[in-house]
Structure 1
Amino acid sequence: MSRSAVIRWLSSFAPGPIAVRWPERLRSCVGALIGIAFTGGAMHVLLGTDVNIPLLVAPMGASAVLLFGVPASPLAQPWSIIGGNLVSATVGVACASWIADPVTAAALAIALAICAMFALRCVHPPSGAVALTAVLGGPAVHALGYRFVAEPIAMQSAALVCSAIVYHAVTGHRYPHAARRKVDQDAAASVAVAKDGFTHADLEAVLRQRGELLDIDPDDLESLLRDVQLQAYARTFSELTCADIMSRAVVAVSVATRASAAWNLLKRHGVKALPVTDETQHVIGIVTRADLLDTPTFRKISVLWSLRQRWFRRRRDPVRVVGTLMNPSVHAVDAATPIAELVPLFAHYGHHHIPVLDAGRRLVGMITQADLIAGLYRQTSAQQRSAA
């Protein structure tokens, strides 16, 4: 082997770049701190310190890395953690009970645990350490027998998952991680974007051919590839701006508009969000269907209750207005913004409706994901006709 080949081989050990931003890294660290502290504290409260049961087992630290560091991974979902830990603990206790030699028992426990996790679709890498702990944990763990499965493994797994669910909800992350769906794209638009690309069936076929487990949900992988394809597609239309694709007939409301009136506007015009403007047509917020559905006005399902509230409205249930329900943190773009800059807003930051402003920062239009795709499709069709 030549020296250059050795250098290339050694360079392959260098870590790749991490695209995670520093605020997200800090959020993961704080989450792991809270999760492990909560798990240990819950065990202390439930079991006390007099019992001969570890308040924390080492595999929970590895589970915390997945839960808070890479919560979108299929290996970090609740069933993967709880199911993987329980089945691995059961297998480990059984091997420790049946096989006298600890090395043989440990090797067999790991192998059987992996097999069981694949069969039950709950693959969780730290669960291998759970099986190993059941075999090599020492007299205290062996004395627990199958009680080790419930105490501490089941209890600690449940406590860690519960802490992760609450923490991710508070910090605005999706957990458990649901597959991304493009709800704003109809079938025709999806076909238009993927005309010269790939389909979901193509992706499934390639994954079956690879025959290995990828640490990413197939739907997330498809969404990522679609976003990359759309970004590259939009980049080819450098002269196309937001003004070319936006919806100009924008329905806006003021802060004094009643919630019931805003709801009627949403239904009448078939839209999902309304920009909130002031007297000078400057955008100061946005209100969505979810904002309006979360108000007492739309939670009343009893006719008698509604009549009673209407009778005593002034004293008991003041009229809700848009100003108290809107989200003031609205992202807007200029009409001259190239459409390529819209892709990350839709793909990475969760925006579904983006107001468009003129040079005076006044509202002149609105863009949705469907508008973006429809604009690209129209431009492509026009280019094809001119080429013909």
Structure 2
Amino acid sequence: MSNPSSPKVDPRHRFRLRLFSPILAGATLRERMLACLGALIAIALTGMVCGYFFGQGSHLPLIVAPMGASAVLLFAVPASPLAQPWSIIGGNTISAMMGIIAAHFIHEPIIAIGVGVSLAIGAMSFTRCLHPPGGAAALTAVLGGPAVASWGLLFPFVPVALNSCILVALGIVFHRLGRRNYPHIAAPAPVNTHQTIDPPSATRNGFREEDVDAALAKFEETFDIDRGDLSRLLRQVEVEAAVRSHGTVRCADIMSRDVIAVGENATAEEARALLLKHNVRTLPVKDGSGRLMGTVGLRELMQAEQLSDHIATAAIASPDAPAISLLPDLTDGRTHAVVIVDAGGHVLGLISQTDLLSAIAHMLPEQTGRIAA
């Protein structure tokens, strides 16, 4: 039975959405433009550097064709396991070596190209550097003609490995300047900060890591995403679904406004006294204008003499943010409160684990009523 409150979507509009939606999940116009710029700079500079070393008159190609495909992965999907430094350098180099070996022992080109690509896939898989352009590197080694044949076993290293190393180095610089995570390191799985054998509180409900493994096994397919990234994505999907269901309750609705805080010039003893007097676990530290500098707790101040040496980075949120969106922070085993700040960084309020738990308890009857209705 359809929901009468659900908006009707024009089929023509739905078709347009499918037509112009990105092929890759998460892709945006900005990301694609950055990929174009990165490839333009990196490929041009790679050719220039190799041209400087080999000279324009050299019979050796300044840059091999598979570098173009490597650049697509490096700049368009830098989080892909197939686009990491070892995948690019190892995949291209090893595949070119497989092509050279196939061409040396098999003189029939049609057979040699098949064997070369097949060996490249196998070698890349066993050395954990699977990289699609490696197949093209193997073909180049087999069909490269006299220029490749004259270099023999050196061809996988010069220019293939050299091209790959320069491309990766330029990619690292480009992504660092753009503040992007490359080489991509997947966020570690949540751990129990209390050093017990219980799973972290954030993972005791909902799916578990073994559920991810079981689902992947049932699909019987290979997906171009790191397993750690997949788990992190699914957990964020859970949070987004909760926000959508309970997004009407904002941080401003449940935050404590009379915030117990301390100035940046306070002593560690004064901060400890405030924490004990008010029975709180997190104490915001403000500068002279009321802006948040960080937080301190009893654990940090246990043996401290100077407050300024123990100020930790605070978990923050805006007053208009959905309160339920604080769940990941307040269930990570380390954060006991989130400080609510305005656009200028001034402290407006604070939401503790108790505040959020109380708010969720009030949400439950409302949700139950909706289900019953």
Q: Same fold (TM over 0.5)?
A: yes
Q: Tell me which of 194, 215, 221 is aligned to 1:212.
A: 221
Indicate whether 1:364 and 2:369 are aligned. no
Whether 2:22 is the aligned partner of 1:17: answer yes
Q: For residues 182 and 273 of structure 1, what CA distance do their matches in structure 2 show?
A: 28
Residue number in structure 1 paired with 2:114:
107
**Mapped contact 2:202–2:328 kept (Cα < 8 A):** no
C-alpha contact (below 8 Å) 1:275/1:355 kept by paired residues: no
Q: Which runs of 5+ in 2 are unaligned?
A: 1-15, 194-198, 297-307, 331-336, 369-373
Q: How far has the Cα of 1:14 moved from its partner?
A: 6.2
Q: Which residue of 1 aligns with 2:203?
A: 191
Deviations 1:320-349 (A, max 9, x none): x99xxxx9xx98512x54325668999xxx
Indicate the residue corresponding to 1:169 in structure 2. 176
Which residue in 2 is equivalent to 1:150? Answer: 157
Q: 1:360 to 1:48 in 2, by over 3 A?
A: closer
Q: Cα offset for 1:142?
A: 1.7
2:140 to 128, 133, 143: 133
Change in Cα spacing, 1:222 to 1:183, as seen in structure 2 (3 Å) is closer
Supply the distance in 1 between the matched residues of 2:359 and 2:200 (Cα, whole angstroms).
Answer: 15
CA distance in 2, matches of 1:163, 1:358: 38
Partner of 1:317: none
C-alpha distance in structure 2 between counterparts of 1:147 and 1:247, whole Å = 69
| Consecutive unaligned residues in structure 1, runs of 5 or more | 1-10, 290-320, 347-352
Partner residue of 1:333 out of 304, 318, 321: 318
Distance (whole Å) between structure 1 residues aligned to residue 32 and residue 70 of structure 2: 16
- Between the two proteins, the alignment pairs up a number of residues equal to 319
Aligned: 1:27 with 2:34:
yes
* Contact 2:70–2:133 (8 Å) recurs in 1: yes
| Matched position secondary structure for 1:198 | coil
Contact map agreement 1:235 1:340 (CA 8 A) in 2? no
The answer to whether residue 108 in structure 2 is matched with residue 124 in structure 1 is no
> Of the two structures, which has the highest relative contact order with CA contacts closer than 8 Å and spacing of 6 or more?
1
Contact 2:109 2:142 (8 Å CA) reproduced: yes
Query: Is the 8 Å Cα contact of residues 88 and 113 (structure 1) preserved in structure 2?
Result: yes
Between stretches 182-191 and 237-246, larger displacement belongs to: 182-191
Structure 2: distance between partners of 1:364 and 1:104: 72
Of 21-30 and 129-138, more deviation after overlay is shown by 21-30
- The question of 1:82 aligning with 2:72 is answered no
TM-score w.r.t. the length of structure 1 is 0.68
CA–CA separation in structure 1 for the residues paired with 2:135 and 2:359: 53
Contact in 2 for aligned 1:66/1:73 (Cα 8 Å): yes
For residues 360 and 232 of structure 1, what CA distance do their matches in structure 2 show?
30
Change (3 A) 1:211 1:240: same
**Counterpart secondary structure, 1:145:** helix
Q: Is the 8 A contact 2:186 2:228 kept in 1?
A: yes
Query: What amino acid sits opposite 2:229 in the alignment?
Result: D
Q: Aligned runs of 1:1-388 on 2, under 5 Å?
A: 16-18=21-23, 19-181=26-188, 187-192=199-204, 195=205, 197-243=206-252, 244=254, 249=259, 251=261, 277-279=287-289, 281=290, 283=291, 286=293, 333-334=318-319, 337-339=321-323, 355-357=339-341, 362-366=346-350, 379-380=359-360
Q: CA deviation at 1:52?
A: 2.0
Q: Is the 8 A contact 2:261 2:286 kept in 1?
A: no
| Alpha-carbon distance in structure 1 between the residues aligned to 2:62 and 2:327 | 47
Q: Percent identity?
A: 38
1:245 CA displacement: 5.9
Please report the RMSD computed on the Cα atoms of aligned residues, expressed in angstroms.
Answer: 4.3
**Which amino acid in the other structure matches residue 203 of structure 2?**
V
